[in-house]
Amino acid sequence: MDPVARYLELRDRIDSEAARLTALHGADITCRAGCTSCCVNLSVFSVEFHAILREMEHDGVKPEGIAFDTAATCGFLHDGLCRIYRYRPLICRTHGLPILYLDDEGDTPEWRVSFCELNFTGEGPVEFSDETLLDIEEMNAELYHINRDFVASLHGKNYHEQARIPLQELCKKPEE
Ligand code: SF4
């Protein structure tokens, strides 16, 4: 399958998993329109950048017409809402959810759980299991492989599989 189609299929799965976890955790997750506490400027892999751009073009959206706010924590924010919400990257779709990640800062890597501090604010420690977490390492590994195949399909056209593109570049005027 075309790497961009694989990216979109992964995105659908992440959306489904995010919806499942949001329903499962109920009132412990307070994420809502207007809360921007997870929003920061991002860079994305080439495949994600191209998939977003391609989808915008398909929908007749001109990203170069979007005013990027350099004073905001993420320049795509406007009045507390994301201007590219429908097209937002995978990581934005996991904002606020409890995620399982591998912490490799110390001498020995350790699995840890992270979530937005505005969520799970009830009394007592929260117990999580594989069923109640999103494995972010699994998502990132799949995205990495899709991106590697995407970059290979470009036959050396200026991209590297490790390279990340600032999302802000969506707003650049296309070259004449
Ligand atoms: S792209 Fe949208 S959802 Fe993602 S960090 Fe920026 S404003 Fe937030």
Atom number in ligand 1 closest to CA 95:
3
Give the residue, by CA position, lying nearest to ligand 1 atom 3. Answer: 92
Residue ranges with strand state E in 24-66: 43-45
Residue ranges with strand state E in 18-154: 43-45, 77-78, 81-82, 99-103, 110-114, 134-135
Average pLDDT, the chain: 93
pLDDT at residue 175, as a whole number: 61
Asked whether 87 lines ligand 1 (CB < 6 A), one says no
Give the residue, by CA position, lying nearest to ligand 1 atom 2. Answer: 82
Radius of gyration of the chain (CA): 17
Q: Which residues contact 37 (CB under 8 A, 6 or more apart)?
A: 116, 117, 118
Asked whether 82 lines ligand 1 (CB < 6 A), one says yes
pLDDT at position 53 over 80: yes
Q: What percent of the chain has pLDDT over 90?
A: 84
User: How many Å from the N-terminal Cα to the C-terminal Cα in the chain?
Assistant: 31
Using 50, 70 and 90 to split pLDDT, how confident is the model at 176? low
pTM over 0.85: yes
Tell me, in angstroms, the distance from the centre of ligand 1 to residue 7's CA.
18
Q: Determine the 3-state secondary structure of 46 from DSSP.
A: helix
pLDDT at residue 158, as a whole number: 67
pLDDT at residue 126, as a whole number: 86
Tell me, in angstroms, the distance from the centre of ligand 1 to residue 42's CA.
8
Of the candidates 22, 47, 6, 12, the one whose C-alpha atom is nearest the C-alpha of residue 134 is 22
Mind listing the pLDDT tens digit for each residue in 88-123? 999 999 999 999 999 999 899 999 999 999 999 988
Mind listing the pLDDT tens digit for each residue in 75-97? 999 999 999 999 999 999 999 99
